[in-house]
Structure 1
Amino acid sequence: MKKATSFSTKGSSTSVGPLKIQRMLPNRYAGQVGPFVFLDYVAPAIKNEITKKGMGAHPHRGIATLTYILQGEVEHFDSAGNGGKIFSGGAQWMKAGNGIIHDENFNYDSQTDSKYIQGFQFWINLPAKNKAEKPEHIAIQANEIPQIALEDESGWLKIIVGNYEGLSSKIPNYAEQFLYHVQLKAGKQFLLEIADKIEVAAFLPTAGAQLNNAEFQKGEFIEFDKNAGEIELRNTFGQPIDIILFGGEAYTEPIVAEGPFVMNTKEEIIGAYHDFYAGKYGEINLTA
């Protein structure tokens, strides 16, 4: 049985430095999809619009951030002394844990001289027991991301987060979660089985697609119901298309979000701000 669509939206537009952002989550219909509480889509920008000054250092607590770059490169800096640079097709995961300050510098891909930058930033909510842990950082290049060929030469599926058919991402799982990048060739389809009570959404960054016999446009975010069922992706476009699928088990603990912090109580939010202003998150040292 095919899963029903709960809603679709094109989110809201904003800017972060020189980048044009489409904020897909949270939206007017939903605050989270499984453990995912935030999604910004970085629309394609040409290289002469990008600076090398970073996006602005800022704190986080209680979440893990995940940057997945389709085109371009992203360099990471944080107050725990971590650093790393990923290129087109790579991902960076940072567990903010009990508090960290970080910055990211988006630029064109120096390895390929690509003229564009395009990608995503997700926030993954941590269980309460993991919010007090020390920060961590993982940089994963494109060739380290598990990829599987789809049947009937239909395309491929990359496992950015979670597991699929025996393959696993390097990104830690604190609950059942997944983030897949599917590319479908023209005229092809792919069927994904979703278990009961698993929340799942799709995003169409490059072209429209048919999801469970309904047509959706480029730039749409689609969430499905929580019943067990199938999601059929069909490419009715004349060229290969990309589809982002993500979600997981529902986050059942209380969620209190304010600014860059996602905690379980208002008191914990107050504590997060207090510790930040007290300098307990440290500072980024670019000379180290």
Structure 2
Amino acid sequence: MKKQTSFSTKGNSADLGPLSISRMLPNRYADKVGPFVFLDYVAPAIKEIITTNGMGAHPHRGIATLTYVLQGEVEHFDSAGNTGKIHSGGAQWMKAGNGIIHDENFNYDSQTDSKYIHGLQFWLNLPAKNKAEKPAHLAIQANEVPIKTLPNEDGWIKVVVGKYEELSSIIPNYSAQFLYHVHLNAGKQFSLEIKDKIEVAAFLPTQNAVLNDTEFQKGEFVEFDREAGEIELKNTSDVAIDILLFGGEEYTEPIVAEGPFVMNTQGEIADAYRDFYAGKYGKIKLTK
């Protein structure tokens, strides 16, 4: 039985420092998909100027951030002293835990001849028991993201978060969660089974795609129902396409989100702001 579509949307336009982005989650239909409570999409664009001083330092608490760069180069630095630079196909994961300040430079990939940038940033909500842990950071290069070639030259699947068959991401799991990048060649298809009560959404960054017999447009965010069933991805075009699938088990604890903080109570939000203004998150110290 194929899963049913709950809704689709193209999100809202916003600005993130010098970048123009589309905010896909939260949207008018949903505040979360499994542990994912936020998704900003940076559409393909040419970036001529190299950013070196960050796009705007800001705090986080109670979540993990995940930047997945499809094309470009992302440099991370934070108040815990973590730094890292990833290139096209890589990911930056940062557990904000009990409070951190971070910033990023998003530039074209210095390892290629292309000046295009293209990427996504997710926030993953942490369980209450993990929100008070110390911050942590991982810089994951493209060759460290598990990948599996699909049969019959259909394409490939990358596991950025979670597990798929024998593949397992090095990003920590605090609940059942996944982020898959599926690349389908022209005229090919791919199916996977989703268990009952798992929340799952798809995002189409590059081209139109047929999801469970319905065609959706490039740039659409599509959420499915929570019943167990199949998701069939089909490429009916004459060029290769990319599809992102993400979600996980429902986050059942209370959620209070305000600004850059996602906690379980309004009091914890107040504490997050109070600690930030008291300087308890530290400062970013650049060595350049």
What's the TM-score once normalised by structure 1's chain length? 0.99
CA distance in 2, matches of 1:29, 1:46: 32
Deviations 1:255-277 (A, max 9, x none): 00000000000000000000000
Structure 2 alignment gaps of length 5 or more: none
Sequence identity of aligned pairs in percent? 78
Counterparts in 2 of 1:87-236, with a 5 A limit?
87-236=87-236
Counterparts in 2 of 1:18-33, with a 5 A limit?
18-33=18-33
Deviations 1:173-218 (A, max 9, x none): 0000000000000000000100000000000000000000001000
Query: Which residue in 2 is equivalent to 1:259?
Result: 259
Give the drift of 1:50: 5.3
Does 1:248 find its partner at 2:248? yes
CA distance in 1, matches of 2:89, 2:70: 5
CA distance in 1, matches of 2:196, 2:152: 28
Give the drift of 1:49: 5.4
Give the drift of 1:123: 0.1
Deviations 1:194-251 (A, max 9, x none): 0000000000000000000001000000000000000000001110000000000000
Give the drift of 1:18: 2.0
Structure 1 alignment gaps of length 5 or more: none
Instruction: Judge which range, 274-283 or 146-155, deviates more.
Output: 146-155
Query: Which residue in 1 is equivalent to 2:43?
Result: 43
Query: Which residue in 1 is equivalent to 2:274?
Result: 274
Query: Which residue in 1 is equivalent to 2:80?
Result: 80
Give the drift of 1:53: 2.8
CA distance in 2, matches of 1:30, 1:13: 17
Paired letter, 1:119: G
Does 1:238 find its partner at 2:220? no
CA RMSD in angstroms, aligned pairs only: 0.9
SS state of the match for residue 48, structure 1?
A: coil
Question: Which stretches of structure 1, 4 residues or more, deviate above 6 A after TM superposition?
Answer: none
SS state of the match for residue 48, structure 2?
A: helix
SS state of the match for residue 119, structure 1?
A: strand
Query: Which residue in 2 is equivalent to 1:60?
Result: 60
CA distance in 2, matches of 1:227, 1:151: 27
Paired letter, 1:84: G
Paired letter, 1:235: N
CA distance in 2, matches of 1:259, 1:113: 37
SS state of the match for residue 193, structure 1?
A: strand
Give yes or no for contact 1:19–1:50 (8 Å, CA) kept in 2: no
Aligned residue pairs, count: 288
Give the drift of 1:114: 1.6
What's the TM-score once normalised by structure 2's chain length? 0.99
Paired letter, 1:239: V
CA distance in 2, matches of 1:98, 1:8: 34
